[in-house]
Amino acid sequence: MIFAAVVAGGVGSRMNLFGMPKQFLPLGKSEKPIIIHTLEKFVFCKNFHYIYVGVHKEWIDYTEELLKKHSLTDKRIILVEGGKDRNLTILNIINAIESNHGKSEEHIIVTHDAVRPFVTLRMIEENISALDYCSACDTVIPAVDTIIESKEGNIITSVPKRSSMYLGQTPQSFKISQFKELFSQLSDDEKSMLTDACGVFTCKGKEVRLVRGDVFNMKITTMSDYKIAGALLGGDMSD
């Protein structure tokens, strides 16, 4: 089966607006919350059997009401309590999937940040089809700026070759059984260091394929991101 996991576990510590997690902020002329824009894209993808949404426990009731208010009554949407971080939220969703649908080598999951509403149907579909050839894939865009590594934060440690550098976005997708197996092999230190699911695969030497993202598949994390997203929906950007 094919599952979506929309990760919305945050409580909005980086964007203090109306005391509300950023995924619930209104966006565009419709003033729909960011998470609704994102979920609509997933609902329009017919490949998904179920669309799980990981939400902080204090916001589950609110999210339920929000879905109703915006007529997102698709029976495939299931709310699950989020975890402490992204990976633990995904793990909660995986546990819910296995509890509802059993374990299977065939289960795949497309994980996505709720705060990336500019995701396209193409990206989602290419994530799903990439898993025909590998165990995991990551949506990326080529790095335009030079990436600088600095371990201490004040002196350059290395300047990696830009042509082989990419910026990771979401969706990130993988075979559920393999993720669980690899995640269970991680030490506690490794678990706290790895902020995304694909890191779990690469850390254990597994091949992760690249899917082409889009510069505007931005993560709305700060107030300036939010303003840019609002501006994008109000005007044109030349390519």
Partner 1 sequence: MINYVYRLISPGVFSVKYEDLNHGENLLVRPLYMSICHADQRYYLGRRDIRKLKSKLPMALIHEAMGEIIMDLSGKYKNGQKVVMIPNIPGSKKEKVIYENYQKGSRFMSSGVDGFMREVISIPEDRLVLAENIDFKAAAVCELISVGVHAVSRFEKLSHSVRNKIGIWGDGSLGYIVACILKQRFPSYHLTIIGHNSAKLSQFVFADETHLSDDIPSNFEVSHAFECTGGDGSYFAIDDIVSYINPQGTVVLLGVTENKVSINTRDILEKGLTFVGSSRSGKSDFIQAVDLLKIPKFQNRILRIIYEDEKVENTDDIHRVFKTDLNTPFKTVFKWNL
- Residue 161 interacts with partner 1 (CB under 8 A)? no
Question: Rounded to the nearest whole angstrom, what is the least distance from the CB of residue 30 to partner 1 in the complex?
Answer: 5
Measured CA to CA, the distance from residue 27 to residue 229 in angstroms comes to 8
With CB under 8 A as the contact rule, the residue among 3, 52, 118, 174 that binds partner 1 is 118
Interaction mask 179-218, partner 1, x per CB under 8 A = ---------------------------------x---x--
- Residue 236 interacts with partner 1 (CB under 8 A)? yes
Please tell me what DSSP assigns to residue 202. Answer: H
Stretch near partner 1 under the rule CB under 8 A, chosen from 5-13, 116-124, 164-172, 191-199: 116-124
Residues in Cβ contact with 94 at an 8 Å cutoff, skipping those fewer than 6 apart: 5, 109, 176, 179, 180
- Residue 112 interacts with partner 1 (CB under 8 A)? no
Closer CB to partner 1, 54 or 117, in the complex: 117
| Residue 225, φ and ψ in degrees, nearest 5 | -60, -45
Cα 109 to chain centroid distance, Å, stands at 11
Q: Return the residues of window 37-66 that contact partner 1 according to CB under 8 A.
A: 37, 40-41, 44, 46
Interaction mask 18-37, partner 1, x per CB under 8 A = ---------xxxx-x----x
**Continuous H helices in 113-194:** 121-130, 176-185, 188-193
DSSP assignment of 99-129, as one string? Answer: HHH---TT-EEEEEETT-TT--HHHHHHHHH
Closer CB to partner 1, 103 or 227, in the complex: 227
Ranges assigned E (strand) in 38-165: 50-55, 77-81, 108-113, 136-142
- Residue 122 interacts with partner 1 (CB under 8 A)? yes
With CB under 8 A as the contact rule, the residue among 95, 100, 120, 222 that binds partner 1 is 120
